[in-house]
Amino acid sequence: METLQTAQLVGNAAAGHAAEITIWGLFWQADMIVKIVMLMLLVASVWCWAIIIEKMMRIRRLNAMADAFEESFWSGGSLDALYDRIGQRPTDPMSATFAAGMREWRHAADRGIAGTMKGSLQQRVERVMAVTIGREMARAERYMTFLASVGSTAPFIGLFGTVWGIMNSFTSIAGSGNTSLAVVAPGIAEALFATAMGLLAAIPAVLSYNKFSTDLGRYADRLETFAGEFSAILSRHLEERGAA
């Protein structure tokens, strides 16, 4: 009779624990340390997705604006007219690079040194454009370090929560003296849930970091190529002025 009652109690306990093994149940029943780990990973995951969405939209917008600017630049129109139109308020890194180069060129032309010191002027224009490219790329790459940090550390943070949860589970087992699956399963599930959250935060962060790093690298190469072409155009104008 006592054996039957014990079996019924264990069965009821197993049913109760099985009903409680849900996402919310795993969180609310977890140890405080494990809860903190889960909340940290949840915040990191939400922030990562916000950065991912922002970066996707920003890179698409930068490429579209660069296409529009290059179409205007290579249309055969006057570069002075193009600078007068966008030089004061450039809207994208490529137009900012062009504006920086033209500003230095015009400053030299106003002082009458475009023809006499063409070597130093060429170097100054190239240096100004390189500085502008570096500054604009630093803005475009903002928060990339956070994606890399989450991608590399989130699994270990989740693993810490898992280890802590398993330690608590074994402590509870030792205290109760009951090694049935109904007692062990909830604690182990709570602990493994922390690892799952770590992977949930890390995998999108790593994939997006690799994707955005490649896209931004290509965009930086595009800016440097444009700066080189623009520098060649200015150099040709300098030689024509010197010959004249």
167 close to 68: Cβ distance less than 8 angstroms: no
The pLDDT, as a whole number, for residue 58 is 96
Contact 201, 52 (CB under 8 A): no
What lies within 8 Å, CB to CB, of 184 at 6+ separation is 169, 173
Cα–Cα distance, 65 to 80 (Å, whole number):
20
Q: What is the pLDDT along the chain (244 residues), one digit of tens a residue?
A: 444 444 444 444 444 444 456 766 666 676 788 888 889 999 999 999 999 999 999 999 999 999 999 999 998 888 889 998 987 889 999 999 999 999 988 887 766 655 555 667 788 889 999 999 999 999 999 999 999 999 999 999 999 888 888 887 777 777 766 666 666 666 777 778 888 899 999 999 999 999 999 999 999 999 999 999 999 988 887 776 655 5
Provide the pLDDT for residue 10: 43
pTM: 0.79
Tokens 């810490």, residue located: 160
- Per-residue pLDDT at 211: 96
Give pLDDT, residue 241: 61
pLDDT of residue 118: 62
Nearest to 190, CA basis, from 214, 168, 205, 219: 168
Looking at residue 18, its pLDDT comes to: 45
Closest CA to 139 of 101, 67, 104, 90: 90
Question: What tokens were used for 231?
Answer: 């520098």
Q: For residues 90 and 103, give the distance between their C-alpha atoms in angstroms, rounded to a whole number.
A: 12
Could you tell me if 130 and 93 are in contact, meaning their C-beta atoms sit under 8 angstroms apart?
Answer: no
Q: Write the CA distances from 188 to 7, 90, 167, integer angstroms.
A: 22, 57, 9
Quote the pLDDT of residue 4: 41
Tell me whether residue 15 is exposed, middle or buried, using C-beta atoms within 10 angstroms of its C-beta: 0 to 12, 13 to 18, 19 or more: exposed
